[in-house]
Amino acid sequence: MFETLILMLDATMRVSTPLIFAALAGLYSERAGIVDIGLEGKILGSAFAAAAGAAVFGSAWIGLFFGIMASVSLAMVHGFACITHRGDHIVSGVAINTIVAGLTVTLSMNWFGMGGQTPTLSGDSRFLSVTLPFADALANVPVIGLIYSELLSGHNILVYLAFAMVPVTYWVIYKTRFGLRLRAVGENPHAVDTAGISVAFIRYRALIVCGILCGLAGAYLSTAHNAGFLKDMSAGKGYMALAALIFGKWRPVPVLLACLLFGFLDAVAIRMQGVVIPGIGEVPVQAIEVLPYVLTVLLLAGFIGKAIGPKAIGRPYVKERA
């Protein structure tokens, strides 16, 4: 029983990693007043770019670079529409998601001719598991050995980076000048502008950070968690990250806990495939696949209470004339 629980938590960490990256990305964006429905598109676009780069150059790190560049580029398109031209944030995000969903398949078919996929990655083209010091030696130690060798050790570097980004984000948001200005822009951009600080510049910087984190999420999916790009492989993770962001009320640590909860539900769903329930029989695969999303909606509707986001979120900023 204890070993099963550890294996479930181990799977939770792996499944939660792209959610953590994407939710933190949305935190930077929405704290600055920019609604980012386009998280899904940035994850998918970066997953394709990372897999394509890794396949062509034979390096996961080069793939990661291309993934981040693709995501940041999409973030800048979103910023150009919403910040520079004061467009509707939702429309821009949905447009990015729609375009990327079609563009990734089209490019992969033209470049690789594999029906919307990239070549299978192996060796240096993937981020492989990292074994922590003394993990093998402690593997047979009761309780502690299993926790250290199975739960903490054996993940790839992007998993550890995702969890490390939570305290980093907390420090940036609450302890730095940039974080103070970021929160101020999301709450009262007119006051920030009155102080002589460029609202647009702060928001563009927030979107750059958002793009980098979404790039990490997408690269993880295609070069670490999987061995290549598949059509629509983001599978709604951008939307689940937004749900985790709301569930965590735009605060880093609660957002992490929400991502872990959603990841655990996903891990439970995977574990339940093929399980026979007395009186019901084998659980249908379709019911298992939809379970995390249904539970996400139920949790948001029933347990979160009233979530109040930044006051200026989604509102185009028009500079007041003297």
pLDDT surpasses 70 at 320: no
- Give per-residue pLDDT as tens, 101-137: 999 999 988 888 877 888 888 888 999 888 888 777 7
In a domain, 316, yes or no: no
**Residue 318, pLDDT score:** 66
Determine the average pLDDT of the residues in 20-24: 95
More confident residue, 133 or 291: 133
Judge contact between 46 and 70, C-beta under 8 A: yes
pLDDT surpasses 90 at 54: yes
Determine the average pLDDT of the residues in 286-297: 71
Determine the average pLDDT of the residues in 245-264: 89
Q: Which helix (H) or strand (E) holds 141?
A: none
pLDDT surpasses 60 at 285: yes
Per the structure, the count of domains in the chain is 1
Distance from chain centroid for Cα 7: 22
Type of residue found at 20: I
Report residue 275's pLDDT band, with 50, 70 and 90 as the boundaries. low
Residue 66 belongs to domain with CATH number:
1.10.3470
Q: Please state, in angstroms and rounded to a whole number, the distance separating the CA atoms of residues 157 and 164.
A: 11
Task: Give the mean pLDDT of the chain.
Answer: 86
Judge contact between 228 and 117, C-beta under 8 A: yes
- Going 89 to 92 to 94 to 97, the CA torsion angle's sign is negative
**Residue 68, pLDDT score:** 96
Determine the average pLDDT of the residues in 221-232: 90
**Residue 130, pLDDT score:** 84
In a domain, 212, yes or no: yes
Torsion angle of the four alpha carbons 179, 185, 188, 194, in this order, in degrees rounded to the nearest 10: 100
**Residue 131, pLDDT score:** 82
Q: Which residues contact 26 (CB under 8 A, 6 or more apart)?
A: 36, 39, 210, 241, 242, 245
Q: Please state, in angstroms and rounded to a whole number, the distance separating the CA atoms of residues 262 and 15.
A: 9
- Give per-residue pLDDT as tens, 202-220: 999 999 999 999 999 999 9
Determine the average pLDDT of the residues in 259-263: 88
- Give per-residue pLDDT as tens, 133-146: 877 777 777 778 77
The answer for 226, left when phi > 0, alpha when psi is -120 to 50, beta otherwise, is beta
pLDDT surpasses 60 at 321: no
Q: Please state, in angstroms and rounded to a whole number, the distance separating the CA atoms of residues 67 and 102.
A: 17
Q: Which residues contact 210 (CB under 8 A, 6 or more apart)?
A: 25, 26, 28, 29, 36, 39, 42, 75
Q: Please state, in angstroms and rounded to a whole number, the distance separating the CA atoms of residues 275 and 260.
A: 23
Determine the average pLDDT of the residues in 222-244: 89
Judge contact between 251 and 309, C-beta under 8 A: no
Q: Please state, in angstroms and rounded to a whole number, the distance separating the CA atoms of residues 289 and 131.
A: 31
pLDDT surpasses 60 at 322: no
pLDDT over 70 for what percent of the chain? 89
In a domain, 307, yes or no: no
Report residue 49's pLDDT band, with 50, 70 and 90 as the boundaries. very high
User: Between vectors from CA 210 to CA 294 and to CA 19, what angle results, nearest 5°?
Assistant: 30
Q: Give the Cβ contact number of residue 91 at 10 Å.
A: 12
Determine the average pLDDT of the residues in 159-172: 95
**Residue 300, pLDDT score:** 67
pLDDT surpasses 70 at 193: yes
Domain span at 207: 2-300
Q: Please state, in angstroms and rounded to a whole number, the distance separating the CA atoms of residues 291 and 189.
A: 40
**Residue 29, pLDDT score:** 93
Q: Which residues contact 23 (CB under 8 A, 6 or more apart)?
A: 241, 242, 244, 245, 248, 255, 256, 258, 259
More confident residue, 46 or 303: 46
pLDDT surpasses 70 at 280: no
Q: Please state, in angstroms and rounded to a whole number, the distance separating the CA atoms of residues 27 and 7.
A: 30
In a domain, 312, yes or no: no
